[in-house]
Each structure stands twice: as structure tokens, then as C-alpha cells.
Amino acid sequence: MRALLLALLLLGLTGAAALAVEPGERLADPALEARARALSSGFRCLVCQNQSIDDSNADLAHDLRVLIRQRIAAGDSDEQVRQFLVSRYGDFILLEPPVKPATYVLWAAPFAVLLLGAGAATIYFRRRRGALPEQAAPLSPDEQRRLKQLLAEGGEG
Amino acid sequence: MRRLLYLLPVLAFTGLIAYFLLALQRDPSVLPSAMIDKPAPEFSLAGLGGAPGLARADAAGQVVLVNFFASWCVPCRVEHPLLMRLSHDLKVPLYGIDYKDKPEDAKRFLDELGDPYKRIGADSDGRVGIDFGVYGVPETYVIDKAGQIRLRHVGPLTPEAIRDELIPLLRTLQTS
């Protein structure tokens, strides 16, 4: 019984998630609809904040999906639609932050950290190589004599 | 000197923690507005059940308060007594925009609690809300004499917000 309830609940959840874009919202032209879906998956739903407009069931997300499709059907380019929403809701509506002076640090940080790490690793390995014992000291005259002796014996044997 | 170098990561970590603590203080549901110091959007809305509506032109040349509300919105009920007092105390007109609501529901809401608004526009499909950048009700805007949005308050007004933000701003806007 409990398993059945759980199954029903899970079914209900998946159904709700899959139906975020309602059939009535879709554009007749599949190419335009594909553009609308691609665009709206890049906009943040301002009510749920960690979902895109494309995924969200919020009322506002529905309104914005419809609005995006209206603008696309009216001949707006992707960039114009983006501008339209950003001018009203700010950069926060973009799930991918734009590259501009205020976000340079954000975009550069991973590469800076990578460079720092590479630098640190290089220094570490250089030092370690430096710390290895120097090449063995050259043989003393005594040792050389003995070595020659040994080699000479080997040659005879 | 070398010791100090070893302390560096500790210092950096402490700084990071301090920054996180500071960032946690701010309410993540309050978003920065893109509309501050920009002209208020053009709109023209019908009124509730035959009453005069509300258009951008009604705000021309004067400082006005615009409050987005809805009968289905619980925080609007919390905010409502403050709006009643504001409409009584303030000299600037308080306009209401009824966001995604049925006119008859809104009328019942106002009959029950009182009507603080000088004029009301019915934004039944929420398009004017989108033009203002509204993402939830209530929201309150101050529009100056030049038609620019000068303040946006997300969520219900509080006595503190009225005392510390709204009243001082209205005072400077009216004298300028």
C-alpha cells in the first residue's frame, strides 16, 4: 500500500516537472519553438531562483514563457528578447552571468586559481629536484686505482 | 618572514568566512532592481468594475507611490493597515495596481479592509507587472516628478522601511 502511494507520488512529481511548458504555450513552428525553449532555459525564474523559466511551474515563469514566445513570433532576435528581459529584471535573470567589468573577477577567478596552482606546483617540484643529493662526488684517486684494478682483473678472467 | 607566509592561507580563509557571514545577512529573496532611476514604463489600465482606471499619465509631473497588490496575496493583508495610514498621512497620491486578480475579488478585498488607493488599475494578465520588473506582490514603487522610478520596495512595507526609506525620500523628492 505504502509502495503504491509512493509510486503514485513519484509519478505525480515527474509529471509536473515534464509539463512545465504547457501544450497551449507552444508555438506552432517547431524552429521558433526550439529557439524559445533554448532561450527560456537560460533565464532564471525569479520566484524559485534556482530553476530556469523553462523548468519552473511558477506563474511568473509561465507568463514570461508566453511573453518570450510572443516576442519571437513577432520577429525579435534572441538578443532582443534577452535585452527586453534584462532591462526589466536586471542581469540576475540570466543564469549565465554576462562578461563585463563587474564580473571580470568572477570569470577570471578559476583561471587565476589554476595559474596560481600551476605556479606553486612548478616551484615545489623545482625545489624538490634541487633538494636531491648532488651527483655523487667524483672518485678519489684511491678509488680510481681500485676501479682500474678491478676492471683489469675482470678483463683477464 | 617564512612564518608569515604560512599564515597567509589562514588569513585568506578567515577573510572568506567573514565575507560569507556578511553575505548571509542579506535576504536572498530581495533582488536588485534594474529599474531604479529609469523612466517608469508606459501603461494604461482599466479600473475595477467601472471605476476610473490608472495610466502612466496620472503620475505625470508629481511624486507618486505605486503599490502592486492582489486579493490573493497574504502579505498584502499584512501591509494593508500601513497603506491605510500612509494614504491618510501622506500628501503624495497612492496608486494601486491590482496584479493578476479578478476585479470582483479585489473589490471584496478592499470593501473588507478599506481602500487606501486614490486610483486603481487592474493588471489582470500581469503585463504591466512584468514591465515594472515585479516578481511577486506586494511591491511598492516611488515615481518622481520626472517620471523616474526612485525606490522599489519588495515585499510588504514595514514601519521601519516607511520611516527610514520612504518618508525621507519623499521629503527630498517633493522639495526638489
Out of A47, A49, A88, closest to residue B34 by CB: A88
What is this structure's pTM? Answer: 0.75
Q: Which residue, B67, B74, B86, is CA-closest to B151?
A: B67
What's the pLDDT tens digit per position in A11-37? 555 544 445 777 778 888 899 999 999
Ordered strands of the B119-123 beta sheet: B119-123, B94-99, B64-69, B139-143, B149-154
Backbone angles phi, psi at B9, to 5 degrees: -60, -40
DSSP label of A90: -
What domains can you pick out in chain B, each with its CATH number?
Answer: 34-175 (3.40.30.10)
Q: In angstroms, what CA-CA distances link A73 with A29, A30, A63, A93, B1?
A: 9, 12, 15, 21, 66
Q: What are the CA-CA distances from residue B147 to residues B35, B138, B141 (Å)?
A: 12, 21, 11
User: What integer is the mean pLDDT of A44-62?
Assistant: 89
Locate cell 507618486: which residue? Answer: B64
**Among B16, B135, B139, B152, the residue to mutate for chain A (most A Cβ within 10 A):** B135
Query: B126 vs A92: CB contact, 8 Å cut-off?
Result: no
pLDDT 10s digits, B50-108: 889 999 999 989 999 999 999 999 999 999 999 999 999 988 999 999 999 999 999 99
Contact check, Cβ <8 Å, A88/B32: no
Residue among A47, A67, A86 whose CB faces B130 most closely: A67
Q: Please, what sign has the CA dihedral across residues A82, A83, A84, A89?
A: positive
Name every chain A residue with its beta carbon within 8 A of the beta carbon of B131. 88
DSSP A100-127: SGGGHHHHHHHHHHHHHHHHHHHHHHHH
pLDDT tens string A105-117: 999 999 999 999 9
CB-based contact (8 Å) between A27 and chain B?
no
Q: What is the pLDDT of residue A15?
A: 46
Query: Pairing between strand B64-69 and B94-99?
Result: parallel
* Structure ipTM: 0.78
pLDDT over 50 at A55, yes or no: yes
Rounded-to-integer distance, Cα A90 and Cα A85, Å: 7
CA B36, distance to chain mean position in Å, is 11
Beta bridge partners of residue B55, listed in sequence order: B44
Name every residue whose Cβ is closer than 8 Å to that of residue B58 and which is 6 or more positions away in sequence.
B64, B95, B119
Q: If you average pLDDT over residues B35-46, what whole number do you get?
A: 92
Residue B29 has pLDDT above 70, yes or no: yes
Q: Given a cut of 60, is residue B44 above it in pLDDT?
A: yes
- From A34's Cα to the closest Cα of chain B, the distance in A is 23
Q: Are B64 and B137 in contact, with CB atoms under 8 Å apart?
A: no
Residue B31: which pLDDT band, with cuts at 50, 70 and 90?
confident
Asked if the model's pLDDT at residue A157 lies above 70, the reply is: no
Percent of chain B past pLDDT 70, that is, above it, reads 99
What is the pLDDT averaged over residues B13-35? 85
Residue of B100 and B2 predicted with greater confidence: B100
pLDDT higher than threshold 80 for residue B28: no
Is A60 an interface residue toward B (CB < 8 Å)?
yes
All three cell numbers of A91, joined, read 542581469
Please give the DSSP secondary-structure letter assigned to residue A143.
H
pLDDT at A14: 52
Check the CA dihedral B4-B10-B13-B19 and report its sign.
negative
User: Bridge partners of B121?
Assistant: B97
